[in-house]
Amino acid sequence: MAKKYVYSFEEGSAKMKDLLGGKGANLAEMTGLGIPVPPGFTITTEACIEYLKNNNTFPKGMMEEVEKALAALEKKMGKKLGDKKDPLLVSVRSGAKISMPGMMDTVLNLGLNDEAVQGLAKVSGDERFAYDSYRRFIMMFSDIVKGLDRKKFDEVFDAMKKKRGVKNDTDLTADDLKEVVKQFKELYKKLSGSEFPQDPKEQLIDAIHAVFSSWNNERAINYRNHEGIPHDIGTAVNVQSMVYGNLGENSATGVAFTRNPSTGEKKRFGEYLPQAQGEDVVAGVRTPHPIEQLKEEMPEMYKVFDEICEKLERHYKDVQDIEFTIQQGKFYMLQTRTGKRTGVAAAKIAYDLVQEGLIDKKTAVRRITPRDVENTLFPQIDWHNPKQKTYLDENGKEVKAEEFAKGLPASPGAAAGKVYFTADKAKEEADKGEKVILAAEETTPEDFHGMAAAEGIITERGGMTSHAAVVSRQIGTTCIAGAGDVSGMSIHEGKIHGQNGIKIAEGEWVSLDGFEARAYKGKLPLKKAELSKEMETILKWADEIATKEGKGFHVRTNADKPDQTKQAIAYGAKGVGLTRTEHMFMEKNRLPIVQKMILARNEQEKRRKYVFELLPFQREDFEGIFRAAKGYPVIIRLIDPPLHEFLPDEIELLEKIWKNNLPNDSEEAVLLQSVRATAESNPMLGFRGVRLCLAIPELIEMQARAILEAACNVQKEGQEVYPEIMVPVVGFAKEFELAKEIILKTKEEVEKEKKTKLKKFKVGTMIEVPRAALTAEEIAKAGAEFYSVGSNDMTQMLLGFSRDDAGKFIPLYLKLGILEEDPFVSLEQAGVGKILRIMVEGAHKGNPDIEIGICGEQGGEPKSIDFCYRAGFDYVSCSPLRVPVARLAAAHAVINNGPRK
């Protein structure tokens, strides 16, 4: 059978998203449910994929199917496309499998021409409506299909409003709009070199070309890159008979959510505009009315709307984002899709749906994304006095915040940055490392790159369902919409003109409070929020899934201080996967002792004296961490970096000696000799980790003693402790054996001195040297009780990439498709992953009870966590703030890959 490229809405269903795209599949599903949907048909994503592969040529037979489907639609509607007496008009809209709001193209009112507009005016009895629809069509066709400059058409339209002395589009008369149409056609000819097309079939063919081609426009590509959406799934095209929200006072159009997408509250949320078409609501052309007002103005229509919302939410078992049109008192649904929402809303909605019996706990966990968890921890302004709106500046002085605008709370959170007025400039400055705020009259899909780069967004125009609002909620960016409409803020002459005469130039600091929708001049301090109770509950469900079905697969944290440990445990970490002891050496009161130890490294007695001077400091640090860990395991790594990292910079020392004319026996000159003696050409592969520890064995002894004394002390306090000592940079089993021997001897001495036995204790190693991974069985047999993968160094050594220098070429490799992801962000699975699988297999052969985890940067990254689960790891470890995300990702890994046997 020949491939089928076109399906009527009666032929499809929600299960056909891959083929019909989300919009087409859901229009078909609603049609099947008996919900009023204007009839139409969908051209498949397969047609788009073939079109793009074949140099923007329609696949053979597709247009014949389109003509048949159009003829069937004309028969059903009793109208002909572009008929001069009673024209059928259609919308042509994109619709990918995965929702990409506003990123691809839509054309409304297609089929209008100079004759059809007169027929539409006669049959509708509303000449103004007909010419309003025609001017909209010419503008959209010019912009979207032909790529002409929309701003020039806006200028013509705005000039007409100015000429007539009116503010709103609806105040222009039919004669005014006739003149606008005439000027639009003249402008079209001037910009394109040809007359505006009058053949409706030609219009339709051009529009389908435009929608298919829009899959590869810059904003769509940027969006897919940001959201991790595949580039090869294509978009469907939906051709649907038009209904008109601009046909008189009992007509309207709206966008709504079945629940609040910002907070998750179980309450209808949305906006509508009377006498308007759908683009007006989203584009922010006029500030729309809240959906509650529809209940007062059109109570019967609100009742239908509310009933459909309830029906759809129960059918899809999730919050729906809908578009509707009311045409002369009749309600039509134009779209439904799963609603984009903030992290806070996602958690509340999933939790509530479980309580309502619509979904189970596993579905709730599956629906929460890592970004949802991150966004739940939205920053807030750190007010000193919230009522008075005062904060403490950098000098601790109480300062009253200067509010320059108030708007609509489109996306929660708080943000501070330097303000810029174009998406390009915002992106350019953000790429330089600046924190930026994007301020604009309104945003369009072309602005996505700047929106994604910004800390926050504020717009002059637009409502809660405007483009800026919808996209900001999805990407987790603070947004205040409609600040011009609400409080009179405007952007002109290169400045923001705000309340109370405040003016802000481009590049100045501003701060946004997305919760209250207020904007302030200057850089206000921010603070992190806490997880919502709904998110906490869902993460507990996630832990239950990972523990039960994942056979104990869990999350630990990388923490070097008690406060970090406390924070991570509060966020649900089940222990500490890495404590770096060398960070403790860098503190001001300790560094001089470390430097004396290095200077005395050839004088055994002096060196030992200085090494053990560090013991009380280390012991105190470890006691704090053990207390904060609340009985969970704590892996403490012995000193890892080379000695030169604890010494001053050679150039700085030379300058000091030279400027002060210091003698050769001065402290600085002696230190310089040590700096030169410890310098290495390739420190990462040099005298560090176990190599350094075996050369200075008192380092192992001192650190082991500090760890073990701290553990004994805390255990005596009545608290459970579980110390695990990790030997770094091991490549040979003998290295590990020698280090472990010193550790166990020290343990015996400490327990004897403290007159106590540690109930739990392990010695293991970090797997970061490729040879260690390949000889994992041998090292396990030598007594390793746990392995922790140092994925950063393993990646460097295995790929031959220096992490400090790879940034120069990794972006190029990503662009060329050599790398799929930055290997220092997400585990490189084909190479690094392969050697880690070998390691896991060898480790279990050498010691069936060995525990295996990962503690590099990738330990908190969802794709890497999924790999670790599949590869047989017992846990992942990440920074404290990544713990909630990692807990969710661990559960997702179990759900996606199935239970462990």
Torsion angle in degrees (nearest 10) through CA of 202, 204, 209, 214: 140
Q: How many CB atoms lie within 10 A of CB 80?
A: 18
**DSSP tag of 783:** T
From CA 217, how far away is CA 210, in angstroms rounded? Answer: 10
Record the tokens describing residue 173, joined without a space.
């008369």
Helix locations, 601-732, DSSP H: 604-613, 615-629, 650-660, 667-678, 690-695, 697-716
* Block residue for tokens 């009985």: 631
* Block residue for tokens 């994604």: 452
Catalytic residue list contains 878: no
Q: What is the DSSP string of 574-624?
A: -SEEEEETHHHHTSTTTHHHHHHHHHTTTSHHHHHHHHHHTHHHHHHHHHH
Catalytic residue list contains 868: no
Q: Identify the bridge partners of residue 438 per DSSP, sorted by sequence position.
A: 420, 457
| Active-site pick, 467, 554, 644, 892 | 467
From CA 213, how far away is CA 224, in angstroms rounded? Answer: 15
- The angle subtended at Cα 224 by Cα 222 and Cα 226, nearest 5°, is 70
**β-strand pairing of 436-440 with 414-420:** parallel
**AA identity, residue 528:** K
Label residue 49 exposed, middle or buried (CB < 10 Å: 0-12, 13-18, 19+): middle
Enclosing H/E stretch for 835: helix 832-846
From CA 440, how far away is CA 351, in angstroms rounded? Answer: 36
- Name residues whose C-beta falls within 8 Å of residue 268's C-beta, 6 or more positions apart in sequence: 256, 257, 258, 259, 291, 292, 305, 306, 309
**DSSP tag of 788:** E
Crossing angle of helices 667-678/591-599, nearest 10°? 70
**β-strand pairing of 398-400 with 390-392:** antiparallel
Phi/psi for 454 (5° steps) reads -85, 150
Of residues 485, 271, 219, 526, the one with CA closest to residue 392? 526
How far lies 639's CA from each of 121, 559, 580, 829, in Å? 83, 15, 7, 29
From CA 875, how far away is CA 696, in angstroms rounded? Answer: 32
**DSSP tag of 385:** B
Contact 743, 725 (CB under 8 A): yes
From CA 34, how far away is CA 304, in angstroms rounded? Answer: 13
| Active-site pick, 693, 855, 868, 878 | 855
The catalytic site residues sit at: 467, 855
